[in-house]
Chain A
Amino acid sequence: MQMVSLKRGVSQNMGFATAVLLLLVLYLTYNMMHPRGFSSAVAIQNSNETVAIAFVAMAQTLPVLLGGLDLSVGAVMTLTNCVASLLLNGSPAQILLGMGLTLLTGTMFGLMNGLIVVYGRIQPIIATLATGAIAMGLALLIRPQPGGNVDDDLGWALTNSVWDLADTYGFADGGDAWWLRPFADIPVPFLLVLFVAIFVWLPFRRSVTGRTVYAIGSAEGAAYMSGLPINRAKIAAFTLGGFFAACGGLYLAIQTSSGNADIQQAGAYTLNSIAAVVLGGTSLLGGTGGAIGSLIGAMILRVISFYFRILDIDPLLQPLIEGLVLLTAVSFGAFRTLRVKNQLDLFR
């Protein structure tokens, strides 16, 4: 019985299972080839560089599940990055308030996106194209030049291992307590992403609102006729997307101690988030997939770029290889067309 349900679970989540497998193979091989592989230092560095794109990919997942697309995630992340670079200093209470305000900024922006999409009845892709421009404008207002002032202790503690976190803030005997030992070498950024995924995404997915998001992506008309709260789910999806993007911006500010309102960078994050979502097994047509998959997708994208450091590849060829890998990965979706028995099923 267990086997049957496992088998069915895998076959229903083919994309997700493939992504997990691909990530495992890629990352294990990477660590085996790395001269200092399987060490805490490598894991910390890798996870630090993955957090921002992972959060942005999770943010992109929700609008995609609705069957839409959010072209403002990169811009919202940049905006919150700039807000955080301004607020994360002073006393601990001030820092906490700053974090709260940063997350609130992103969440409010997501809420605005949701309201425009639901009550303005504008297609998500074009509405967020416009609000993305507005977010970039606000980010440039806040931070015309790159820079910032982020508390040093915070920056150190959250971008290293659990031991460093305990050491910096002096709990658990400065990190030497026996009960902390098993976790001491785990990178904090990895735990942060896991924390948000488990305590924000999973409960949302199980709620009526969350399931309505999936229902809308599958068949909006049917969801409406079944009496599901369509408007609430759409607004919630965009709001949560804004929150995830804000998490990314907040972490980027902590990691780099600065804010940078760079339009190119924001655009790159948005486009990479779409790629990560697709790699993670979420359908761009909506209705299937999830934020955990996008998390895996983002990790795959990053691990591929890690390879360039240990392999002796001409840096000039890197963008080409990245592009080819992306194109090949998404082309695997074409296998679906081979299995279709009725030509008509190919058309939406």
Chain B
Amino acid sequence: MRMSISTENRPIVIASLFIVVILIAGTAYTLSTTGTAPLLSANYLLQQLQTGSFLGICAAGMMMVILLGHIDLSIPWTLTAAAMTATAVGGDLALPTALAVGLAVGLLNGFGVAYLRIPSMIFTLGVDTVLRGLMVAQTGGFAPQDKATPLMLFLAKDKILGIPAAIVVWAAVSLIIMLVLTRTGFGRSIYATGSRERAAYLSGIRTRSVIIGAFVVSSLCAAIAGVLLAGYSAKAYQGMGNAFLLPAIAAVVLGGTHILGGKGRYIGTLIGVILIVLLNSVLSIMQMPEAGRQIIYGSVIIGMLLVYGRNQRVTS
């Protein structure tokens, strides 16, 4: 009997299988060199997922925007700006300030894309540059001296019932996004607008509000990731968000979300993030130099997409 998997789930299944392959290959490597299997210990995996949670939260927000067929290139400096203002304000207001920064950036992005109709690719890029300029002007180009607040340190480093708090935050964000996408009108409107905005508009969906909403979610997620990352490294620093943009896009696409919008499940994004995090940790166990890492990273994305991410042939 041949098992049939729906086309929507195929990327998720294949990506999961690839995660298993990575784990087996990594374990085989460590067994042959040191005779231990750290990759299979729960502690090690939790530690990896803890550092992966920053990427995971960014990817969750990015997915909302990609589902619309747009993209959010302002993630790196939204993340940094939120972290920097949070540490600068400090005290109890740190967290709300960071979220307010995220909200403001999201509204601006959404306004530019939904009302001004400027392609998201270039508008969010411009917003990213402006945020970078604001932060450089604010901090003088150095890492600010302000320290992360105790709450931020707790969220990033401490454990709740043996599970790192960062993973709990990531799980909470994931749960909310998943519920929003599958159980609410807003979620369905995102899929509809991403498939064909014209049809969605004619069906009475207020597509402009939907677009703004998605960009706000994306920026809020980046802000949360910024708060966690600032807590994790005890302070905010220049360019702290640069390493998250491209992996977040890659994770979303590897999880089966269509880059032109309309298709994709959140569970796929989750698996895409785990895949990228584990691939990174196996490569660092192997002490792979940066050059090899980049090549393997690129090849894996191409390889996986050749298996399940191919477009329809143009026939009319």
Contacts and interface: CB of A to CB of B under 8 A. Distances in A.
Interface of A: 69, 71, 116, 120-123, 125-127, 129-134, 136-141, 144, 220-221, 224-225, 230, 263-264, 267, 271, 274-275, 278, 284-285, 314, 316-324, 326-327, 330-331, 333-334, 336-337, 343-344, 346-348
B201 A344 contact: yes
A137 B316 contact: no
Contacts of A278: 119, 122
Given A141-B295, A347-B197, 4 more contacts: A122-B305, A127-B302, A134-B295, A137-B292
B211 to A, nearest CB: 11
B70 to A, nearest CB: 11
Given A220-B314, A331-B116, A324 B298 contact: no
Interface string B107-134: 0000010011111011101111111111
Main DSSP-derived SS at the B contact region: helix
B246 interface: yes
Nearest to B77: A323
A344 B198 contact: yes
Contacts of A317: 133, 137
Interface of B: 71, 73, 112, 115-119, 121-123, 125-134, 136-137, 140-141, 197-198, 201-202, 207, 239, 242, 246, 249-250, 253, 259-260, 289-299, 301-302, 305-306, 309-316
A224 B250 contact: no
A139 B292 CA distance: 11
A336 B123 CA distance: 15
Given A320-B137, A323-B126, A348-B198, A123 B259 contact: yes
Nearest to A316: B137
A287 B197 CA distance: 21
Given A230-B314, A264-B242, A319-B136, A120 B305 contact: yes
Contacts of A331: 112, 116, 118, 123
A129 B246 contact: yes
Nearest to A278: B122
A317 B192 CA distance: 42
Given A129-B249, A320-B137, A121 B311 contact: yes
Contacts of A138: 291, 295
B112 A137 contact: no
Nearest to A69: B121
Contacts of B302: 116, 120, 122, 127, 130-131, 134
Given A123-B259, A224-B316, A319 B298 contact: no
A224 B313 CA distance: 11
Nearest to B116: A334
Nearest to B260: A123
B32 to A, nearest CB: 25
A238 B131 CA distance: 32
B249 A126 contact: yes
